[in-house]
Amino acid sequence: MTITGAGYVGLVTGACLAEKGHEVICFDIDKGKIEQLRRGEPPIYEPGLKELIEENIKEGRLHFTTDSKEAYRQRDVIVLAVGTPEKEDGSPNLSYLKNAVDNMACHINQNCTVVTKSTVPPGTNEKISYWIHSMKNPALKVEVISCPEFLREGAAIHDTFHGDRIVIGAASKEAGDLIEEMYKDFNVPIVRTDIRSAEMIKYASNAFLAAKISFINEIANICERVGADIEEVAAGMGLDNRIGRHFLKAGIGYGGSCFPKDTKALHHIAGKVKYQFEILEAVMKVNDRQSEVMMDKARTHLGSLKRKKAALLGLAFKPGTDDIRESQAIKLAKALIHEGANVHVYDPVAMHNAEQELGNAVVYSGSMGEALLDAEAAFIVTEWEEIIEYPLSNYSLLMKEPVILDGRNCLPMEKMKENNLTYLPVGRKGFIPPIC
Ligand SMILES: NC(=O)c1ccc[n+]([C@@H]2O[C@H](COP(=O)([O-])OP(=O)(O)OC[C@H]3O[C@@H](n4cnc5c(N)ncnc54)[C@H](O)[C@@H]3O)[C@@H](O)[C@H]2O)c1
């Protein structure tokens, strides 16, 4: 089978299918990426991926190419995993998909099934089918299936082998059965549905998770005002099975390559059918505002941020990945720069990606200690293990003013007093040492 697009989704899917014994070739138009992959080096950071790729290259089940003929000739199954980034109006940009499909349609030379993993609006798989049929050899039979991806970066391999569900949206039973067979060795429940419902399941799921995050952030903001503690409130809420404990973590807001773009896309999809998705509008608005809440706190406690050294700890949109797309850390870095602060950043794996986004507007520190040295505020944005486990005593030793703004509520609040730290989390009472 062929995987088109060797990014976060395509690479993980390809490596996991190869691990289960399938013969997989990953095709990408990015020559540098493919060169790197042929050497067994993944161009992204994802725990366990390097080992999986190396092992399957060695076993001869996983190959990489930029050659369309090699990619698309004599293939039974072609998986589409190219990006669908947002356009300025919030709608997904389907041009990468269109180019990939046109290229594929020119080269396929046998009947096959095309499986779309890219996140696309309802009706897109029908369009893909139309694009293919208008270009391919008319004698060939090609069926298009929607199989949206639900993996989480940072846990992508685990999620592929042990996800909550695999959704297969197919027009015919035979094509659906074929893809179900492809996944038979994965220990994951299969949901069979029609194509448009499958496409919608993906957007509805991400919008719902984003709503949970914005909801708990609103509750956190109220907790601060009424003297309640969001961590206790969330724990108490989460014990109710109807609510569940996941995605009730208050913080600086969601980021990444999926939630921001998929919420905007769903809002756009609703707008196109003349439906005003009011809850989703509020979800996005709250998320946009949440980093500003943290900036307000910084201003209240530090006064002007001009020429102050700010340590920004964590740049990836979440721990376990080097992905900085729509990361709250990048947004916060830009806001701090805008206020005239001297921003020193640190992340265990995402520095290189951040450099492309922030250029020389910030200082890239080689360690947490380097970022914290003489800083007047530390902003925690990604809850990496290294950041959680960093000794609290070092903050007071290294910083000029030991003020910690914890955008992920990941540090132990009860230990702030003994370390003489000013601690400003989200939705908690925090701790401000008394003035002696
Ligand atoms: N990243 C995630 O966590 C995640 C999770 C679920 C769903 N998705 C969805 O999966 C899709 C892919 O996301 P991603 O994060 O893997 O994207 P990505 O940007 O990491 O990878 C996309 C890859 O496609 C390649 N590409 C572009 N045009 C091509 C073409 N014509 N032929 C072959 N390759 C081409 C690019 O070079 C790139 O390597 C998106 O629709 C996204 O919304 C992503």
Q: Where are the domains of the chain?
A: 2-193, 202-284, 287-424
* Beta sheet of 377-380, edge-to-edge order: 363-364, 342-346, 309-313, 377-380, 403-406, 422-424
Tell me the CATH class for 202-284: mainly alpha
CA of 418 to the centre of ligand 1 (A): 47
CA of 7 to the centre of ligand 1 (A): 5
Name the active-site residue from 112, 147, 223, 258.
Answer: 258
- Six token digits for residue 130: 């139309």
> Is 410 labeled as catalytic in the residue annotation?
no
CA of 97 to the centre of ligand 1 (A): 9
Task: Assess whether pLDDT exceeds 90 at residue 269.
Answer: yes
Task: Assess whether pLDDT exceeds 70 at residue 303.
Answer: yes
- What is the arithmetic mean of pLDDT over 180-200? 96
- In this structure, which topology does domain 2-193 adopt according to CATH? Rossmann fold (3.40.50)
How many Å apart are CA 428 and CA 246, to the nearest integer?
A: 19
Q: What is the pTM of this model?
A: 0.95
Q: What architecture does CATH give domain 287-424?
A: 3-Layer(aba) Sandwich (3.40)
Q: Who contacts 176 (Cβ-Cβ below 8 Å, separation ≥6)?
A: 145, 168, 170, 192
Q: Who contacts 106 (Cβ-Cβ below 8 Å, separation ≥6)?
A: 68, 135, 136
Q: Which atom of ligand 1 is nearest to the CA of 27?
A: 33
C-alpha dist (Å) from residue 129 to 13, 51, 62, 78, 179: 22, 36, 27, 13, 17
- What is the arithmetic mean of pLDDT over 169-192? 95
How many Å apart are CA 4 and CA 25, to the nearest integer?
A: 9
Closest Cα to atom 41, ligand 1: which residue?
118
- What is the arithmetic mean of pLDDT over 150-155? 96
Fold: same for 202-284 and 287-424: no
Q: What are phi and psi of 69, to 5 degrees?
A: -60, -50
Q: Which of 4, 9, 321 to mutate to test the pocket of ligand 1 (most atoms within 8 A of CB)?
A: 9
How many Å apart are CA 326 and CA 346, to the nearest integer?
A: 17
CA of 174 to the centre of ligand 1 (A): 27
Q: Which atom of ligand 1 is nearest to the CA of 30?
A: 37
Ligand 1: residues with CB < 6 A are 4-10, 27-30, 33, 81-84, 96, 99-100, 103, 117-119, 149, 151, 153, 257-258
Closest Cα to atom 15, ligand 1: which residue?
8
Q: What is the pLDDT of residue 436?
A: 63
At 406, which helix (H) or strand (E)? Answer: strand 403-406
Task: Assess whether pLDDT exceeds 70 at residue 73.
Answer: yes
Q: What is the pLDDT of residues 384-418, one digit of tens each?
A: 999 999 999 999 999 999 999 999 999 999 999 99
How many Å apart are CA 56 and CA 61, to the nearest integer?
A: 5
Mean pLDDT value across the chain: 97
Confidence of residue 431 (pLDDT cuts 50, 70, 90): confident
CA of 137 to the centre of ligand 1 (A): 27
- Give the percent of the chain with pLDDT over 70: 100
Task: Assess whether pLDDT exceeds 90 at residue 135.
Answer: no
- What is the arithmetic mean of pLDDT over 338-367? 97
Q: What is the pLDDT of residue 80?
A: 98
Q: Is 382 in contact with 318 (CB distance < 8 Å)?
A: yes
- Six token digits for residue 207: 């919008």
Helix (H, G, I), strand (E, B) or coil at 43: coil
